Structure 1
């Protein structure tokens, strides 16, 4: 059973690598079998269908995103510090991640208009990401690090828009100053909602 699980994990990891560069729709049993030096039937036996393969890839990315973004941020104290951490690790995932940018963002163009289980899985991942940031905003309000009238949903919308622009500028336009621009814009957004001197005093 251990060898079977190891083989399955290796196949899914390779599938995620292919999909992150070529798109989830471009992923096929044939291309994956070729990359793994396996028979197509051997790959098929692990998943049973193209849909199951694609869902396995998205679930694998959930785990990778946890490791890259969520888990390290949990060691940072709640509030603005954790929000900054989530943003910083999100930036790292987009620019320096091992899967050619944020897979959630790149998949959105493929599935934003098509209902189905893949879109549902993708939506769950993105909402979990945004809700984590929204929780940090609520915590910051409770800690008087952000003004009481701050709208957490709007603030996270603004922050997420920065992350989308960062991926666009980094991956498509290949701009070299995107990280600096994103971080400066992030701080400007926070300053609009911070009580005087709080934003600069919270690392």
Structure 2
């Protein structure tokens, strides 16, 4: 059983790398089988359908993101230090781990007007991500690092938008000063709400 779990983990890691560089629709049973050196029928046994494969890739991406971004930040003091750690971990996450783009953004764009289980899964994981970010901002308010007059939902929207904007400037537009622009925008955002 451990060998099977390890093999599936390797397959999902490879699939996530492909999604980040080619998008979801480009990742098929055949393309993934070729990438991991398996037969199509052997790989099909792990997923049973392309849709189920995409759902499992999204679950894997969400777990990886949660571990690398939010769980790692728990070692840091609550409040602004932890929020900064989350943001830094987030930027590192989409710069590393195979490069490419954010799998959630890729999926959101590809499945935007296509109702069904994959879009439902994208919404589920994106809502969880936003909820976790909102909780981190609420902790900053509780710690009195940020003003108690702050609207944490609005702040979450703003911060999420800054992070996603950075990704687009960095990856899509290949804007050389994207990271500096992000740092300036993040610091302005933080200073606007500091106590």
Structure 2 alignment gaps of length 5 or more: none
Task: Please list the CA deviations of residues 74-99 of structure 1 after superposition, one character each: whole Å capped at 9, or x if unmatched.
Answer: 11122222111111111222333424
Say which SS state the counterpart of residue 193 (structure 2) adopts: coil
Residue equivalent to 1:51: 51
Structure 1 alignment gaps of length 5 or more: 196-203
Aligned Cα root-mean-square deviation (Å): 1.5
Distance in 1, matches of 2:57 and 2:149, equals 40
Distance in 1, matches of 2:10 and 2:94, equals 23
- Count of residue pairs brought into register by the alignment: 195
Q: Which runs of 4+ in 1 moved over 6 A?
A: none
| 30-39 or 156-165, which deviates more | 30-39
Residue equivalent to 2:66: 66
Distance in 1, matches of 2:97 and 2:173, equals 17
Distance in 1, matches of 2:99 and 2:62, equals 12
Alpha-carbon offset, residue 69 of structure 1: 0.6
Q: Normalization by structure 2: what TM-score?
A: 0.92
Residue equivalent to 1:147: 147
Q: 1:123 to 1:99 in 2, by over 3 A?
A: farther
Residue equivalent to 2:167: 167
Q: Normalization by structure 1: what TM-score?
A: 0.89
Pairing 1:34–2:34 present? yes
Task: Please list the CA deviations of residues 126-153 of structure 1 after superposition, one character each: whole Å capped at 9, or x if unmatched.
Answer: 2222212211221222222211210001
Task: Please list the CA deviations of residues 25-53 of structure 1 after superposition, one character each: whole Å capped at 9, or x if unmatched.
Answer: 12111111111222111111111111111
Pairing 1:95–2:95 present? yes
**1:118-157 map, 5 Å:** 118-157=118-157
Alpha-carbon offset, residue 178 of structure 1: 1.1
Confirm or deny: 8 A CA contact 1:94 1:166 kept in the other structure. Answer: no
Structure showing greater radius of gyration is 1
